[in-house]
Amino acid sequence: MTAAMDELWRRFRSLDVIGKRALRSRVCELAYLTMTTLCPPPEKIKTKGGVKKKGKKPADYDVYRDPSYHEYVDKASQSSQRQSQPSQTSKKIKLSKKQPQFIVQFPNHIRSYIEDVVNVESDGNCGFRVIASLHGYGEDGWSMLRRELGLELIDKDRSTLYDKLFSNRLSAVRESLMIESFGSQPPEKWMSLPDMGYLIANRYNVVLVCLGNPCITFFPMTSSHSPNVSIYCIGFVNHNHWVQVNMK
């Protein structure tokens, strides 16, 4: 089993904080056979009666199981938000029409076409928060996005493409996606273009439009362009923050 255990350690060290938690849980299932992933509820629940209406589950019926990767992401992200200091995070700002402090930072000929700007939490994950929101994961799905972009970077079918694209910077780009903890991230972990632009466009088969200085657009490099392809528009403001830009 030595080779297998060495491989587990190698994989564990290569994962981010969420991946490590998920792998640790799987290993514990094997190591501690007397334990079970199903746990009793904290309070006694009803054991008689049933659910009369199909599809509805009574609130006082519940069981617990080992969370999935997505659930680990949600739980850890929520815990981090509760523990973060006010100075490190900012309260999420709901969608507001044409926030003036951001609009004026975009080119003049673009401003009249901007319908609204959606701000996100500024904790070093803002770029990934914006893309996660646009992709339907929700702002708090930023860690899932990091993981998927990391998988894109090591995809065997596209290894030659990224080897040519990033050359000797390949490991640095992958390292920028890996995090050791939740909460505020240092500058080297922030989303940066053009590196992340290529990965986002290819991974999700979208056109990524960035409004900033300079303005730049990324097209999928592994598929032909389609008029029905989704367009994700983001903006770089204050020289250090990403926002979602909705165009008319």
Report the mean per-residue pLDDT for the chain.
79
pLDDT of 211: 93
pLDDT band per the 50, 70, 90 thresholds, residue 84: very low
The per-residue pLDDT for range 139-185, each reduced to its tens digit, is 888 988 999 999 999 888 888 999 999 989 999 999 999 988 888 89
Residue 167, both tokens: 């050359």
Bond into 58 cis (ω within 30): no
141 token code pair: 């799905």
User: Is omega for the bond preceding 214 within 30 degrees of 0, making it cis?
Assistant: yes
pLDDT of residue 87: 35
Digit-coded pLDDT (tens) for 5-48: 888 888 888 777 777 777 887 788 788 776 655 555 555 655 56
Would the CA dihedral through 140, 142, 147, 152 be positive or negative?
Answer: positive
Write the DSSP string, 21-68. HHHHHHHHHHH-TT--S-B--SS----S----STT---TT---B----
Class of domain 88-247: alpha beta
pLDDT higher than 90, residue 231: yes
- Where do the domains of the chain lie? 1-44+61-66, 88-247
pTM flag (> 0.85): no
Tell me whether residue 174 is exposed, middle or buried, using C-beta atoms within 10 angstroms of its C-beta: 0 to 12, 13 to 18, 19 or more. Answer: middle
